Amino acid sequence: MLRNFIDHVHFIGVGGIGMSALAHIALDLGLKVSGSDVKVNENTQALMARGAMITAGHQRRNLVVSDSNRAVVVVSSAIPESNVEWQYANDLGVAVIARAAFLAEIFKMREGIAVAGTHGKTTVASLLTWCLVQLGENPTAVLGGRIQQSKAQEGVGDVDLKHGVVGAGRLMVAEADESDGSFELLHPTHMIVTNVELDHVDHWSGGEGEMQEAFHRFSSHTPFFGYRVLCGDDPGSATLASNIRERVYTFGFHERNNFRVRTLGQEGLGQEVEFLEGAKVVACRIPLMGEHNASNACGVFGMLRLLGFSPAGIVEVIESFPGVHRRMSLIASVKGQKIVVDDYGHHPTEVAAVFQSLRSAFPAHRLVCIFEGHRFSRLNAFFKEFVHELAGADHVYIAPIYPAGETQGEGPGQNELVEALRRTTDVSGFDVDENLLRMLGPKIRDEEPTLFLTLGAGQVTHLAPKIEKALLWNAECDEENIQSGAKHGQPRALNGALS
């Protein structure tokens, strides 16, 4: 339907993970794609490699349309109406729509499954997409993260595992973003809700009650025959479930849930669990750490069972899941002693879940967390919670707050967070990457098992490979020293450089 009326889509703020996913969708549909963002990144480079015209910086000349009636401009929620390209689109008579409005039109093409919730959307949506691909369904997908391509086959069947792809099958998976309330534009056939907890206080000034009402309105957009799969353990999600008149299926650990999960133990970077559906029990090794991910996998299991897939088939494809980029991603393991992990967590609940997962998987390692807060409004709203959860690390290094367009105002920032943490844990602030690497030097060089965690939704992820490089350089120096000593009759004490 869309292709009958639109030839050209221009994305303002195309470098974000959600916007770039939709740009891939537009390319798959055979539409001309252009766009702009403040700077070029790996998302924009991937689009340019497919023929999209992407420009760094926002300028009038970026928007070139041959027919204003057959073009549309899609804007990220981070783009103000004063943006020069938005204003120029108005001058040209080109329609300007929100990202979610474009996503809503894509949903009309397929039997859509929307994944909503404050936490866990990307993991659940990615795992569900992976399973459907492996089960031969070739779904359309719009994801907020990238499935780990380093471990996954580039394409399975007819579907390349990009974070935005049009598949030939009847099903579609997409994340429903509650951050700005735009998920209310979506009308999916089925839905999964992982949890409902207050976040994005810059939008939800009315608190969790206001957000709960929005989730209820969103849930009403699923038809009476659609599957509503909600986490029964989360208080916010359970409240939502109790207020929905239509049939709801719940998942989680509690016995009252329709689909249950029981953890049997940690195994390396994964865990052994059992999924229970009535009297049926099936064992599964989930290649993800943490109880929250056991619950997430249970939600996927439940939706797939309702869609008609066998328990054995579901387990087989879950066990092959390679993970999601920036969701407790293992960046490096040097001799098993020095480990680097990168994660997107930026809410106190997410910090707690990541710490719990890593402590269980690496109990002998000290936890060194490099944290970058995301938005001053979030830090201000959850300041005490951030202090409490971050104190769970052995050492914390606080980066400047990633503003995401906000200014600090009178609320707390980096310095206030450092001072509050100083009362309970070893903490330091840093301003540039080089200073951090100097501060980490002793922990990189000593022999104590250490897990370095880069944590946050901003730029902190770029520090992980720098820490990895420093660790590898140190290991190589140690190897050279040991080899030199061995030549002089000293014992050799190193078992391989990388594990």
| Active site (catalytic) residues | 121-122, 175
User: CA angle, 29 as apex, 27 and 31 as ends, to 5°?
Assistant: 60
- The CA distance from 388 to 347, in Å, is 12
Q: Are 64 and 10 in contact (CB under 8 A)?
A: no
CB atoms within 10 A of CB 242: 10
> How far does CA 192 lie from the centroid of its chain?
16
Main-chain phi, psi angles of 214, to 5 degrees? -65, -40
What's the residue count for the chain? 499
Measured CA distances, 404 to 323, 334, 378 (Å): 27, 34, 11
Angle between helices 463-487 and 433-445 (to 10 degrees): 40
**Cβ pair 336, 149 in contact under 8 A:** no
Q: What is the CA radius of gyration of the chain?
A: 24
- The encoded tokens of residue 19 equal 């916007």
> Token pair 């980029």 is at which residue?
325
Burial class of residue 257, CB neighbours in 10 A (0-12, 13-18, 19+): buried
Pairing of strands 395-398, 366-371: parallel
Q: Are strands 8-12 and 71-75 parallel, antiparallel or unpaired?
A: parallel
d(CA 41, CA 43): 5
Helix (H) or strand (E) holding 469: helix 463-487
Residue ranges of alpha helices (H) inside 374-462 are 376-381, 383-390, 414-421, 433-445
